[in-house]
Amino acid sequence: GLSFNSTNAPTLRAVDASRSEVAVYLKSTTLPATLEDLVVRDAGTGLSMNTVTGAGTLTIDGDVIAADDRAKTTVLLTTATPVTVDTAALGLVQSGNSYISPPPPSDPICGTTITSDLVLMADLDCSETTTTAITLGADGVKVLGNGFRILAPRASRVIEAVNRNGVVIDDVDVSSPYPVALSSDYGVYVSGGTGNRISRVRADRHGVGVYVSGADLHVGDVTANGCTYHGLRVDQSAAPIELTGITATGGATGVYLSDFDGDDGAGGRFTLDGGVLADVGGNRTALQLVNVRNVIVQGPIATLDGAVYGVHAGDVTNANLAFRDLDVSDDRGDGTGLLAYGDGTEVTRVTANRRATGVDVRNGAGVVLTDVAAAECNKAAAHLEAVTVAALTNLSLTVSYVGLELQTLDDPTLVVDPYDDVAGAGAIASLAGCDTSIFGAAVTGVTFRGLALDGRATGLALNYATNAGLTLEDLDLSGDRYSGTGASLNGSGHVVSGITVSRRDTGFNGNQLTEPVIADVTVDRVYTTGILLQNSETALDLSNLAITRTATALWLKSITADAATPLVIDGDVLTATDDTAIAIDLDSVANVIVEDLTLPSRTYGVDGSSGGNTGVTVRRVDVSGTRGVGYGLRMNGAGVVIEDLDARYRSTGVLLGPATGLAVSGVRARNASSYGVNVNTISDFVLEDLDVGASYTGLYLQNLAGTVADPVVIDAWDGTRGVLRDASDCATTIAISNGDDIRFDHLRLDGFDNGVDGTTSSNERLVFDGVDASGGRSGATGYGLHLGGTEHVLTGATISRRAYALRLNGVSGATVTDLTATGNGTGYYVVTLAANQDPPTLSNLDLRDNGAAFYLNNWKAPFVFEPSLGIDVSGSDTGFQLYNQTQALTFRDLDLTENLSAAITTSTNISNIAFERLDVSGVGLGYGLDLSASTGVTITDVVASDRYMGVRATGCSALVVDGLDASNAAYGFRVDSLTTGIAPTLSNLHLTDNSYGLTLYNVRTPLTIDEDTGLDVSGSAVGIYLTNYTQDVTVAGLRLDNPSFGVTVVAYSRAVTLRDLDVSGSGRGRGLNVEGVDHVVSGIVARDREYGIYGD
C-alpha cells in the first residue's frame, strides 16, 4: 500500500492500507519515527520494516496498529534491532521475525475426513488448519455450501477427494481471504474416480483454484480468479466430461486441460466453446492444452487475451486439435495469440491482432490454416515450423514485423501464392504493411508464386544456408520508400524466375547460393544495389538480368567459379544497366569473365577494386562515359586479363592495382578528365597497346618497381609490341609516383602541362632514353620532364617549347647526358640539392636559346661548372640563374658571351660562389654578372665588357674581386645597396672606356678606394660615381682624368673623404663634383677642367 525507502524520521498517521500484499513497507529507516493508527486488515503483511537505524527505539503497540483483522502476518522485522513489538497489547505471537495474530479456534470438523454429507448453514472457519480442511472419505459424499464460505487461509487444500466416485461439491466459496494468492495451495482438489460433480464453486486466489481428474466429470459454474498457477485444471480425464460456465481471470493460466482425449467414440470431438469458457480474461495464459487430442476450441470465446498466450497448445503430444472462430488478440503487443503443436492441427477463422506472434503452429503433419487474420504483431503474424501443410488458404497477415514466418519446413507440395476470392483458393490474401512480408529458415521445396511482397525491410527473407530447393516465381518484390531488400536468398538448388523489384535499397541479395538458377529478373529504381550475389563457390546459372536506375547494378562478392567453367557475365546475362552508378562490382571473385558488354554507368563501368580478385578477364567491353566522370574500369587482384577495352570520356579510364600477374592490351582510354590509365602497385605484368590521348593525364604510374637489371619499360607501340599507342594532346603525358627502376624509351611526351610529372621524392632510378618531351603547342608551356627522387638518368632527351624543359626537385645523383633543351622558358631547372646529396653528372647539355639556360634554386652541394661538362648556354637570355640559398658553386673558364640579359645572375641569400676566369662579355646589353643578396662571392680574372653593366653587385656582403676587366659598358662595375655587412675587397679593377667606371650606389659600409685597389678607369666618362646615400667611403691617391667627372658624389651622400687625388683633365668636365654633407676634401690637384672642384 505504502512503500518508503531511505527515509529519515518519517511520520505516518491514520493510514488505511488494508487488502494489500504488504500494507506498509519501510526500508532503510532512520529513527526517530512516528507511526500511529495504521489499519492493515486482510493484508499479507501488515507492517514490514527492513534495516532500521538511528537514535532511540520504536515500540509497535496498539497505538501503532489500530486494526489487523485477518492479516496473515501483522508485523515483519528484518535487521530492525531498535524496534520492539508489544505482543501482549496486540495479541500477537512471535515466530522468528514475524508477529502473527493467532487464528480463531477452528470448527471441530476442520481437518477431519467426512463420510457423510456436509451442509453449511453459516461460514465454516478453518483458519487454524494447515493441512486439508475437509477431506471426503467416501463415495457419494456431498458438500452443500448454500453459498457460505469455508475459511481456510492456511490450509494446503480446502476440500479434497481422492479416488472417490459420485461426490458432489456445490454452492460453496473456498476463496482465500487474502487479496492475492500467497501460496501454491488448492481450493478444490478432486483426483480420480468417476461421476464426480462440482458446481457453483468459487475458489479465488489459490495456487490452483479447482483441480479435477477422472472419468465422467461434470464441472459447471466454477469461478477461480487470481490463481497463481491455474484457475481450473482438468487432468487425466476421459470422455465424456462436461464443462460449463467456467470463469478464471487475472491469474497465471485460466483453464489448463491435460492428458485428455476428446474422441467420443462416434467420430465426434470434445468442444471447448463460449459456454464452457465464460470468462478467462486477464491471465498470462487464457487456455492451455497439454497432451490433448481430438478437441475443438470453438468460438466465439470473448476473452482469450492472455498476456503470454491466448491459447497455449504447445505440446508435441497434442493431435487433431481444431481452433475455430476465435479472437486471440490483445491490446499490449505481447505474447502469442495461438500456439499449437501436433498432427492434424486446424486453425480456421482465427483473428490474432496486436501480439508478438499472432498464430504459431509447429511440429505437426497435415496442418490447416484457413481464413486467418493477424495484424500489428511485433514479431510474426503467423509462424509455421516443422510442419507439413494440408491447406494454407486466405491468410491476411498485415502491419506486422514479419507477415508469414516459415521455419524448418520440408514440404515440396506447399505453394505460397495469392488468394483468389472468386475461386476461394490460394494462400495469401494480404501481407500489406509488414516490415518483412515472408521469412524462411531451413525451408525446403516450397514454391513462392505470383505474390506482391512489399515488406518495408524485406519482401522475401530466405537468407539462411539451411534453405534448399525453393522456387521463386513471378514475384513483385517492390517497395514504396527506396528502403529494404526485395528478396534475400541463401541455400542450395533454388530456382528464381520472373522477379520484379523497384523502389528498394537492394533488389535481390543471394548469399551462399549453391547451384542456383536465376533468370528473367527486372530491377529498376533501387537505391543501393540491384542484384547482390555473394559467398558462393559453385556454378551460378544467370540469364536475362535487367537492372536499371540504381547505384550498383550487379555486385558479385566472394564468388568463386571453377577455372575450367568460369562464370561469364555477357549480354545474355546482363541485358540492361541503364542509368546506374556502377554496372558491375567485382569484390573478391575468382574465375569470372566479363565480355561483350556496353557499360556506360556514371561512376564505374566495372569496379573490381575491393577484396582480392583472381583470374578475372574483361574483354570486348565498352565502359566509356559521356561527361568525363567516374571510372571505366577499376580492377585489382591476381591473374587479371584485360583485352580490347574502350574506356573513353571518363574521369579515369582504367585504374589497375594492386595486382600481380596482370595482362593488359588494347585499351582505349582517351579523353579522360583525370587519368587515361592509372597503374598502382602492380607486379609481374604486361602492358601493351594503350591509347590514352587527349586525357588530362595519359598514363599514371604509382608504386611501380622494376629492378636495375630488369627495369619496367614504357615504350611506344610499334604495331606488334610496346606500351603506348597514343598519348598525345594530354595535359600530362605520364605521371609517376613512388616509381623505381622504370625506363621510358623513345617516347613522345607532349603534354602541355607536363611531358612527365614525376615530382614525388620517392621515385628512384628513372631512366629516360631518347625521349622527346617538347611541347606540342605554340609558345613555351608546362614542364618537359619534372622529376623528384634520386639517381635518375636522362640520355639523349630533346625538349623544346616548354616553360621548363627539365626540372629536378631535390634529385640526388642524377645523370644528364646529351640533353637538347632549346627554345624554352628555362632549359635546366634544379630545385633543392642539399649539401649532403650527390650533385648530378652532367655531359653535353645543349641549353641554347632559352629564357634562362640553367636555373639553380637552393643548390648546396659543391659543384664546379667548367668547359669539360659541355654545357652550351649561348643564345639564352640568361646563362645561369642562381637563386634562394644556392651556395658552394664554382664557375670556371667558361665563355658566356652570348646571353643577352645576363651571363650569370644571383639573388636571395646566395653564398660562397666563385667566378674564375670567365668571359661574360656581351654586345652592349644586359649584365655580365648580376649579383644580388649574396655573401662570400669571389670574382677572379673575369672579363665583362660590352655590357650595359659589366658587373653589378647588389647587397653583396664580403664580396672579393681580384681581376675584373669591364670595358665599353654603361657601367663597368657597380656596387649597389650595401647598407650592412662586410665591405667588398677590391683589386685589379680594369674599368676602362665605360660611361661610369666604378659606381657605388647606396654603399654605407666603410670602404677605401686607393692605389692598392689597382683601379683603372681610364677612358670612362666618369671615373668614380658615388650616389644615393653612399657614405663612409674614402677615395685616395688616384689619378682620375676622366673627361666628364674624375669623381662625382651626389644624391644625399655623406661623410665621403676625397684626398690626395689628381683629377686634372684636358680642359673640360669637372675634377670633383661634390654634393651632400660632412665630406672631407684635401690634397686635391684639379687642373685643366671646366671646374676643378664643383660643390653644390
Do 1030 and 1005 sit in the same domain of this protein?
A: no
pTM score: 0.78
- On whether the CB atoms of residues 318 and 340 are closer than 8 A, the answer is yes
**At residue 884, does pLDDT exceed 90?**
yes
- Report d(CA 780, CA 771) in Å as an integer: 18
Element spanning 90, H or E: helix 87-90
Q: Are residues 1002 and 1038 in the same domain?
A: no
Burial class for 424, CB neighbours closer than 10 Å (0-12, 13-18, 19+): exposed
Domain boundary among 73, 100, 127: 100
SS percent in the chain: helix, strand, coil, step 5: 0, 55, 45
Those residues with Cβ within 8 angstroms of residue 423's Cβ, 6 or more apart along the chain or in another chain: none
Q: What is the pLDDT of residues 926-935, one digit of tens each?
A: 999 999 999 9
Q: What pLDDT score does 777 carry?
A: 67
Q: Report, in angstroms and rounded to the nearest whole number, the Rg of the chain calculated over CA atoms.
A: 54
d(CA 1030, CA 873): 36
Residue 202 lies in a domain: no
* CB-facing half-sphere around the CA of 518: CA atoms within 13 A: 29
Residue 806's SS3 state is strand
With the CA atoms of 813, 814, 818 and 823 taken in that order, what torsion angle do they form, in degrees rounded to the nearest 10? Answer: -140
CA distance 248 to 1093: 139
Section 142-169 average pLDDT: 96
- What number is the average pLDDT over the span 86-112? 86
Q: How many CB atoms lie within 10 A of CB 572?
A: 12
Confidence of residue 645 (pLDDT cuts 50, 70, 90): very high
**pLDDT (mean) for 742-769:** 97
Q: How far apart are CA 19 and CA 226, in angstroms?
A: 14
Q: Are residues 1030 and 974 in the same domain?
A: no
Per-residue pLDDT reduced to its tens digit, 788-810: 999 999 999 999 999 999 999 99
Same domain, residue pair 995 and 1083: no
966 and 931 together in one domain: yes
The secondary structure of residue 519, as a DSSP letter, is E
Domain membership flag for residue 137: no
Strands (E), 203-318: 208-215, 218-223, 230-238, 242-244, 246-247, 253-261, 270-272, 277-279, 285-298, 309-313
What pLDDT shows up at residue 41? 86
pLDDT of residue 71: 80
Residues 56, 613: Cα–Cα separation, whole Å: 83
Using the 8-state DSSP alphabet, how is residue 412 labeled? T
- Whether 456 and 604 map to the same domain: the answer is yes
Cβ-in-10-Å burial (0-12, 13-18, 19+) of 778 comes to exposed
Peptide bond into 103 cis (omega under 30): no
Same domain, 987 and 1076: no
Pairing of strands 73-78, 98-100: antiparallel
DSSP, residue by residue, 331-395: SSS-SEEEEEESBT-EEEEEE--SSSEEEEEEEEEEEEEEEEEEES-SSEEEEEEEEEEEEEEEE
Please report whether residue 301 resides in a domain: no
Q: What single string gives the DSSP state of each residue in 223-256?
A: E--S-SSEEEEEEEEES--EEE-EE--SSSEEEE
What confidence score (pLDDT) does residue 104 get? 67
- Do 560 and 453 share a domain, yes or no? yes
The residue type at 903: A
**Integer Cα distance of 950 and 902 in angstroms:** 9
Close Cβ partners of 495 (under 8 Å, ≥ 6 residues apart): 470, 471, 472, 473, 516, 517
Burial class of residue 300 in the structure, from the number of CB atoms within 10 Å of its CB (0-12 exposed, 13-18 middle, 19+ buried): exposed
Tell me the average pLDDT across 613-620. Answer: 98
Strand partners, 1077: 1054
| Same structural domain, 969 and 1045 | no
181 confidence band (pLDDT: 50, 70, 90): low
* Phi, psi of 366, deg, nearest 5: 65, 35
Q: Name the grid cell of 486.
A: 526485395
State pLDDT tens for residues 991-1024: 999 999 999 999 999 999 999 999 999 999 999 9
CA angle at 112 for the pair 106 and 118, rounded to the nearest 5°: 85
- Type of residue numbered 527: Y
Can you give the pLDDT at residue 42? 78
Task: State which of 964, 988, 1020 marks the end of a domain.
Answer: 1020
Asked whether residue 504 is assigned to any structural domain, the reply reads yes
Domain carrying residue 536 = 437-611
Based on the domain organization, do 1016 and 1029 belong to the same domain? Answer: no
Tens-place pLDDT, residues 720-748: 999 999 999 999 999 999 999 999 999 99
Q: Does some domain include residue 749? A: no
Total count of domains within the chain: 4
Q: Is 185 among the domain residues?
A: no
Q: Name the percent of the chain lying above pLDDT 70.
A: 99
3-state secondary structure of 867: helix
Q: Are 1032 and 979 within one domain?
A: no
pLDDT digits (tens, 9 = 90+) for 301-330: 989 999 999 999 999 999 999 999 999 999
Whether 849 and 877 have beta carbons less than 8 Å apart is answered as: no
Considering the domain architecture, whether residues 1087 and 982 belong to the same structural domain is answered as no
Closest CA to 373 of 327, 336, 416, 423: 327
- Whether residue 719 lies inside any domain: the answer is no
| Pairing assessment for the beta strands 98-100 and 93-95 based on DSSP bridges | antiparallel
pLDDT tens digits, one per residue of 187-245: 999 999 999 999 999 999 999 999 999 999 999 999 999 999 999 999 988 778 999 99
Q: Is residue 215 one of the residues assigned to a domain?
A: no
Query: Among 65, 100, 135, which residue terminates a domain?
Result: 100
* pLDDT (0 to 100) of residue 178: 78
3-class secondary structure, 5: strand
Whether residue 281 is predicted with pLDDT greater than 80 in this model: the reply is yes
Residues facing residue 541 across a β-bridge = 517
